[in-house]
Amino acid sequence: MSKNLVQFMIEEQRQIPGASDDLTGLIGDIVTACKQIAHSVNKGALIGVLGSAGSENVQGETQKKLDVITNELFIKANEWGGHLAAMASEEMDDIYPIPAQYPKGRYLLTFDPLDGSSNIDVNISVGTIFSILRCPAGSIHPTAEDFLQPGTEQVCAGYALYGPSTMLVLTTGHGVNGFTLNNDIGEFILTHPNMTIPVDTQEFAINMSNQRFWEAPVQRYVDECVKGKSPGGREKNFNMRWVASMVAEVHRILSRGGIFMYPFDTKEAGKAGKLRLLYEANPMSFIVEQAGGMSSTGRGSIMELKPTGLHQRVPVILGSRNEVERVVGYHKEA
């Protein structure tokens, strides 16, 4: 009989030093939020949730109605359970302390409630990304500073993919497992145990419209992939993919290999990268590395970075190990 997520987490919890029922309970609350989000995404225009909300988030990005709705769903599902001390989201300027009427727990939660929301109006897969950290001992009233922990300190990371089927993929540091939502019974069932990323690939994912802004190592790598077996290229031909949804990109890499890049570029002065460290780059790096892949900024490990702000951006290169190592090698040569 296939395990559901609760059964899996109880067994997983026994392998995590110092873990308590709180972690299983927190993941249960996150699962509730993801089910609610999946329902809203699935209904789309039928319930009037498509289109712009007419507002911007702290990054200056135009919010979709579903950005606002899913952020609220995530907060409401997780604030009351007694597992969290505070939350931080892509859609909020500052942290969200757990309200005084609810008990406080030992964990911090960061999340991107609707990754790839620019795709929502054209019915392309989107997702939710989350990361769980321990609240520092003695921190009674958490501050933003308490969230500024390197990715190596993550207790759990995961994402939900709202595609043809709804999936939840997560790691607690003991490999990566995927669960598919069975709508008939309302449960996530283990369908993809021990997911691993092939070390070699013939697919790369990057936004080619930014090519003129890339640094030389990335220019060199992509040029070789595009040329393939032609002179000046590689020993094999490559295919290119680009969905503009990090969840969809990473899920494809977990399923069949590949490399995803949102590297440093000079398009916007003052921005170190496009993707946010705490609730995009770190959790996805944790998942990818637990699946045998590799992640890097091009110059060093993503998860070893000490964050300097809640919404810090970083370059991201992750996926099949041999290709990521090649890109990192080109950076070192440069």
- 27: tokens are 């993941």
| 3 in a labelled binding site | no
Half-sphere exposure (Cβ direction) of 304: Cα atoms closer than 13 Å: 9
By C-alpha distance, which of 243, 312, 309, 305 is closest to 277?
A: 312
Alpha-carbon torsion 94, 295, 210, 207, what sign?
negative
| DSSP string computed for 64-117 | EHHHHHHHHHHHHHHSSSS-EEEEEETT-SS-EEPPTTS---SEEEEEEEEETG
| 35 in a labelled binding site | no
| 90 in a labelled binding site | yes
Q: Within a 10 A sphere around the Cβ of 8, how many other Cβ atoms? A: 20
| DSSP string computed for 104-151 | --SEEEEEEEEETGGGGGGT--EEEEEEEEEPPTT-SS--HHHH---G
Whole-angstrom distance, CA of residue 41 vs CA of residue 37? 6
Alpha-carbon torsion 241, 112, 10, 134, what sign?
positive
| Chain centroid offset of residue 129 CA | 4
* Residue 148 φ then ψ, to 5°: -85, 65
| 21 in a labelled binding site | no
Q: Are 187 and 4 in contact (CB under 8 A)?
A: yes
Q: Within a 10 A sphere around the Cβ of 135, how many other Cβ atoms? A: 19
| 285 in a labelled binding site | no
| 50 in a labelled binding site | no
| 22 in a labelled binding site | no
| 121 in a labelled binding site | no
Helical spans, DSSP H, in 197-320? 216-227, 246-256, 282-290
Binding-site residue set for substrate = 115-118, 207, 274
Annotated binding site: 90, 112, 114-118, 207, 274, 280
Known binding-site positions for Mg(2+) = 90, 112, 114-115, 280
